[in-house]
Amino acid sequence: MGTRNVILVWYRGKWQIAQYTQWDGFPEGQGIRIVRFLQNKVHPDQTSADKVDERHMVAEESSAASDSQVDDATAAQPKDNVAALKAALNRDILYTPTEEQMEEWWADAKVVSAEAEAIKDRIRTNQKQMSSEEVGEEMERHQLMDALVAPLMIVVPSMSRDCGSRILSLVACAKERVPVKLEVEFVVDSMCEWAYVVDLDEDVLEVYHGTQGSNEGKGRFDDANFVVEGGCRPFMAKRYRFGELAGMTEKVLRADVNAVLKEHGLLWEESSERQ
């Protein structure tokens, strides 16, 4: 669902990644996916937390196969994801694209979307002669749903709001430089509902809850430099050392975070009631 969040990576004393993400910001969404990356479970079973956003009917692996960035990230997964991510960042593999590059990618994304619309129309016209299974195979073969609703994921996934926690494995396994847009400031935006900090200097994961306008913060974002007019400090609900995540499950993560939020009067019923 549309739960805005940001995934941040701190390493060598600075922000390396600050990935704005439009979807599934709850701990049982992006949160557990980040945990599974840190647990080296990069190809987990298809549980609810591991599926591509529910709007997409194409499997993550199918979508990945269409793009060289994601293809690199899924072709040879490392045994130690944290070490691989650090190694990639040590090679200064990230860069900020120019406005001209972004314009080119958006133009390419429009072409992808238009082609997907044409394919969808053809499938719709022919589906009376095709079985449901054949229609599904045709859609998957063309990565149709990603192309329709998230075409930038096909062109340059690291710049897409749909990339989410996949940015971690994408960078960790990339063979070429990866464009990123640092959106650290979104963490104090009143629209930010959740934030996740992967601190590779301290080897810790921090889970933050957006405080919806309250300036009663806790954690590294208490610094006055992060608070802008109309902004808010996110509340740090949990801080885990990587070693503490070995047996972490979606249920335990959700319970841990909700217990702290309830204690401070910040528990969202929508999150606590999700199964």
pLDDT digits (tens, 9 = 90+) for 149-188: 788 888 889 999 999 999 999 999 999 999 999 988 888 8
Question: Is a pLDDT exceeding 70 seen at residue 213?
Answer: no
So what's the pLDDT on residue 266?
Answer: 80
So what's the pLDDT on residue 48?
Answer: 31
So what's the pLDDT on residue 70?
Answer: 43
pLDDT digits (tens, 9 = 90+) for 187-197: 888 888 999 99
Domain residue spans in the chain?
5-94+161-272, 98-154
Pairing outcome for strands 235-241 and 94-95: unpaired
Residues 6+ apart with CB under 8 A from 201: 10, 11, 12, 13
Question: Which of 109 and 138 is assigned the larger pLDDT?
Answer: 109
For the entire predicted model, the pTM comes to 0.78
d(CA 171, CA 173): 6
So what's the pLDDT on residue 27?
Answer: 93
Question: Is a pLDDT exceeding 50 seen at residue 64?
Answer: no
State the pLDDT confidence band at 274, using cuts at 50, 70 and 90.
very low
Strand blocks (E) in 98-218: 178-179, 194-199, 204-209
CB atoms within 10 A of CB 27: 27
Q: What is the mean pLDDT of residues 67-73?
A: 44
State the pLDDT confidence band at 202, using cuts at 50, 70 and 90.
very high
pLDDT digits (tens, 9 = 90+) for 131-153: 767 766 766 665 676 676 788 88
Mean of pLDDT over the chain? 78
